[in-house]
A = this chain, B = another copy of it.
Amino acid sequence: MDPKSFLDEKKDQRLNELFEFLRFPSISARSEHQPDIKACAEWLADHMKKIGIEAKIMATKGHPVVYGSLMTSPKNMTILYYGHYDVQPVDPLNLWKTKPFEPTLVGEYIMGRGTTDDKGQLFTHLKALEAYTATANTLPVNVKFMIEGEEESGSEHTEQFIKDNAELLKADVVVVSDTAQYGKNIPAVTYGLRGLAFVEVKITGPDRDLHSGSFGGGIANPINVLCDIIAKMHDKNGKVAIPGFYKDVKPITAWEKKQIKRLPFTVKEFLSKTGSKGIHGEKGYSTMEQIWSRPTLDVNGIMGGYQGEGGKTIIPSWASCKITMRLVPHQKPHDICNKIEKYIKKICPKYVSCEIIKHGGAPGVVVPTDGPWLAAAGKAIKRGFGLEPVFIKEGGSIPVVGTFKSVLGIDTLLLGWGQNDDNAHSPNERFSVKDFERGCYSALALIEELAQVKR
């Protein structure tokens, strides 16, 4: 039997197995679920062993990583699959229509916590692999699995784990299925993520709140000063005004513009998704270009003075804000933090004090669009879904992808089988059976396509 026929035949069985996996309430953020995390890791390692993968549970200072490998030949390509077996908390429970840890079929959907994020999605790769091992077909690649247990609670020990086990994790490419399709029946390969740089700014004027009558007009107000500084972060074209901010930013390629044009994007739909009255961004770029391929600066929080009901006539002693900048590849978080610090120190007037805390961040990542990985992934999806995939980026960051690149030097393919409205992190998480199935077939095709990539 060939691997594809195995997939055809075992549909019910793999759904039942997925349900077993989903029944563990492996909520990493809640200490009372520590035993469930452990049981889930053990089940996963056992299941990997059952399908022929050499698996082990590896301790970290947090929840353990389930590691597995199946090495066929040093001549073969090595794929490192990354995923996570832990899940988000489930409260508020009363909003769930089914029990979160009793996976249930409702119409076309598997309902339950972890269905799409990430148990259901990562399981497709195990099932694709099993289609080889169970049928004794020759696996044309080496595979490694790194399935972590604390992605939903911050992945605090993940970077250290990757550093500590760099040799063990060595591979040619990383495959992650923890994102989503672009939309219904629009499968996608995500080839880039923005990075992040984070600073906090505090402006201090008087050494205590002052009466705004007795002093107002003669002394600077730290809130007004901070607002002035923030206003100077952008120019009139919506560009970030920090000197040198765009120095390492590469122009958007013709290929990328073409991919964006292919998307069924409408401003109307975008606005309805955000509830905003209008779009606004850097002049000269379309919305998707602004979000995927251009760096930004946003104030995430601001505070100062009196925030209660009514009024209080003070000149506050201080005002502060949190600023994050989304970075594109080649911009360095440390460098950007230094540049914003230098700029703020320069524009901040001398009659107030200015304190800047630089938190650094994570660089943006991109899979080379002209390399073999994207092409192979595109072909695999086309075979698994019967649909041409789109090539997209994501405005947010997935830090582990940056770590794989910076520590191991490996590019990551982000192949999401689910949908953005599958309620990851919300009640009534779901994963359509059809997407799960297409994911399994795509995962199988991916093994074949990657096997043919010339190293």
Name A's B-contacting residues (CB within 8 A): 194, 196, 198, 205-208, 210-221, 223-224, 226-228, 230-234, 270, 274-282, 287-288, 290-291, 294-296, 298-307, 311-317, 319, 321-322, 324, 326, 349-353, 359, 394-397
Contact = CB atoms under 8 A, between A and B. Distances in A.
Contact of A395 (B216, B296, B300, B324): B216
A218 B291 contact: yes
Contacts of A216: 291, 296, 298, 324, 326, 395
Nearest to A223: B299
19 contacts: A213-B397, A216-B324, A216-B326, A217-B281, A217-B326, A223-B301, A223-B302, A224-B234, A227-B231, A276-B351, A277-B351, A280-B349, A300-B312, A300-B314, A300-B315, A301-B305, A301-B306, A302-B303, A303-B303
B305 A353 contact: no
A211 B303 contact: no
Nearest to A216: B296
B223 A280 contact: no
A210 B301 contact: no
B324 A212 contact: yes
Contacts of A302: 223, 227, 302-305, 307, 319
A296 B231 contact: no
Given A217-B282, A291-B214, A305-B299, A322 B326 contact: no
A126 to B, nearest CB: 29
Contacts of A301: 223, 304-307, 312, 314, 316
A207 B299 contact: no
A214 B394 contact: yes
B296 A307 contact: no
Contact of A214 (B198, B221, B395): B395
Given A230-B224, A274-B219, A213 B299 contact: no
B275 A217 contact: no
B234 A231 contact: no
A311 B303 contact: no
Contact of A315 (B206, B230, B298): B298
A256 to B, nearest CB: 15
- Please provide the 8 A-B residue pairs with the shortest distance between their CB atoms, ordered closest to farther: A213-B396, A207-B275, A278-B351, A231-B231, A301-B305, A227-B230, A301-B306, A220-B280
A315 B220 CA distance: 28
Contacts of A213: 194, 196, 326, 394-397
